[in-house]
Structure 1
């Protein structure tokens, strides 16, 4: 993965930013103040990453992947979905293809030689993807906004839909401005028959030391015909989920962050119990947990998100879907989860490192 210095450029605020209720003193903010980690807590988190990493944080062998071909995609019916890894999903809506947070690089990092490394290859390469109607981005962290993927995708994508400021990054990277649309919370558009609305999330942003919270983060409502999908992006648990459910629910399928959590950063990532509650708050039917199974970004076992959310959903009577990477789902009637992750052995103590890094742990910034 080539690294471009543009990925860390400090972005100037434009008029749309300054008019946003989320923007103050040069930065975007959450609706409820987030506790800034501070230098001491940040150093403590880094120390834990270096000294307390569990042996089972990484699988011993790549998880199962179902390879996809262009023929598979074209033959699939409308309202199909494929999980490609982490928070990257491919959806077929109104006859067109849509991608969320496309990350195809080997590492979720500004560097090609260090940082969180993929557990598995993507089920399909970018050059094999069909023309893409739209890319939906939730925020600009490296595990959600992949510079090289954007460069490769740009010629075949009609629309990039982003929160405020994230589109400015794409334009700085050479994406034609005519392809980019940026939105504040509760704003949206309809493109090729698909309605998109940026909705609140509780998180933070930035790709370097000087650009913390210069761009907005968001969840997304995706509506195609009478089918509704909720994509959470990255977020802590907050009362905004209930507001989203009241305005746009119920949802046929929720794509909800369930992974890379820890008690030390509760404001920006949800525990599985909170992921389930967020699903209920937005009035979801089927729950697909994302933000897991591809990168080692926290201190829990790599299977922990799957096991915990499976048990919680079963107790609550919530239909859970957790497809193998590359497996096709029917958005309206997806098949229930099978525990494919139990067939993959965790890394044994003393196994080779996968180049982990705490680069994606909460940053020490003042983004209230």
Structure 2
């Protein structure tokens, strides 16, 4: 394989989206400074129950050894659905619209909340290289209702997308709730982004009796070669009139401790949003991304009444086929004797209501 400059940048951009290892040029940024804690050593964050990120050598071994043709995705895989959400959702109802990958619009109690919004064509630090969309967002940007709050789970490029956050800031000026350090990244890129950084276990009032608590998750963060774990990562427990939602945008499974602790501290949970994609090869991905079998175990651990899947079917970050996560999810549910309707996988533009 001829390693042209463009090919090398493409490989780095692919790694950046999946596990946060882009070029050296993307690493010169301001970072968080704060007191030492049980998960921050004064310079970098860490998960006492997690695993450190893979080394650059392991990243390059994976990237340069991948067999892309074996699990090639179609150039374009359009969803048959497109959502035009209402302006507001009142009462005790919760309306969740799947935008794609880890992006959601959650409407409840008169609030419109976006999770990990990404409307860009690539999940990458580059406009010309890196993982490219295989379908449109489930909601066209100009069809969005007024956005009040944005939740951003961590700094990887497929979750923290500065161009989208800038568009949202210009049009709606929403609050942006994010783990510590990611607010520094956002404001450093665009001072109009109203980013607020919070630590694990912080509870944030969003208004109208809706609140969100940042909870530990088994993952990590980076946007450059030299800033690994200099920003925090989290999942969210959202309190709504219809019950609590557990929003997991990216996580490994490990021994399931994170999920059981959320059940103990925040249960009962009405619904969990759980990732099911970007999991192959397992030697590389198991510590940071769940596969569908892991996600089914996570559902049991957290005790949610039902689950919807995310982190699949839009960007090819890893080596499995585009339809493999949903197929494997059905097989894992069948094996566990759990009805398929308890854990559903939507296509972009589909809606789930409580």
TM category, shorter: 0.7 to 0.9
Q: Deviations over 1:270-304 (max 9, x none)?
A: 12211111111111121111100100011111111
1:313 and 2:333 equivalent?
yes
Deviation at residue 315 of structure 1 after TM alignment:
3.5
Q: Which one of the candidate residues 307, 311, 333 is aligned to 1:287?
A: 307
| Distance in 1 between residues matched to 2:155 and 2:241, nearest whole Å | 29
Tell me if structure 1 keeps the 8 A contact 2:153–2:235: yes
> How much does 1:36 deviate?
4.5
Higher mean displacement: 255-264 or 27-36 = 27-36
The alignment of Structure 1 onto Structure 2 pairs a total of residues equal to 320
Q: Which residue of 1 aligns with 2:278?
A: 260
Residue 245 of structure 2 is aligned to residue 225 of structure 1: no
Taking the aligned partners of 1:225 and 1:65, their CA distance within structure 2 comes to: 31
| Partner-residue secondary structure (3-state), 1:196 | strand
**Contact 1:10 1:214 survives alignment (8 Å):** no
TM-score between the two structures when normalised by the length of structure 2: 0.84
Indicate conservation of the 8 Å contact 1:103/1:146, yes or no: yes
Q: 1:216 to 1:166 in 2, by over 3 A?
A: same
Query: What is the aligned partner in structure 1 of residue 64 from structure 2?
Result: 47
Specify whether residues 90 and 148 from structure 1 end up closer, same or farther in structure 2 by C-alpha distance, changes over 3 A only: same
CA contact (8 A) 1:106 1:117 kept: yes
Q: CA 1:209–1:95 in structure 2 vs 1: closer, same or farther (change >3 Å)? A: same
Please, which runs of 5 or more residues in structure 2 have no aligned partner? 1-23
Paired with 1:261 and 1:286, the residues of 2 have a C-alpha distance of 22
Cα shift readout 1:17-47 (whole Å, capped 9, x = no counterpart): x243211151111123524433432221012
Q: In the TM superposition, what is the alpha-carbon distance from 1:128 to its structure 2 partner?
A: 2.9
Determine the C-alpha separation between the residues in 2 that align with 1:271 and 1:66. 25
1:196 aligns to 2:212 (yes or no):
yes
Residue pairs, 1:1-368, within 5 angstroms: 8-15=27-34, 18-49=35-66, 52-59=67-74, 61-69=76-84, 72-74=85-87, 78-155=93-170, 156-176=172-192, 179-192=194-207, 193-238=209-254, 239-262=257-280, 263-264=282-283, 265-316=285-336, 317-318=338-339, 319-330=342-353, 332=354
What RMSD, in angstroms, separates the aligned Cα atoms of the two structures? 2.1
Report the alpha carbon displacement of residue 76 of structure 1 after superposing the two structures with TM.
5.9
Q: Shift of the alpha carbon at 1:226?
A: 4.0
Distance 1:96 1:87, change over 3 A: same
Whether the 8 Å CA contact 2:39–2:47 is kept in 1: the answer is yes
Distance (Å, rounded) in 1 between the aligned partners of 2:188 and 2:56: 31
- The change in CA–CA distance for 1:33 and 1:292 in structure 2 (over 3 A counts) is closer
TM-score w.r.t. length of structure 1:
0.81
Structure 1's unaligned 5+ residue stretches are 333-368
After superposition, the C-alpha distances for 1:48-67 in whole angstroms (9 at most, x for unaligned) are 23xx1244441354232422
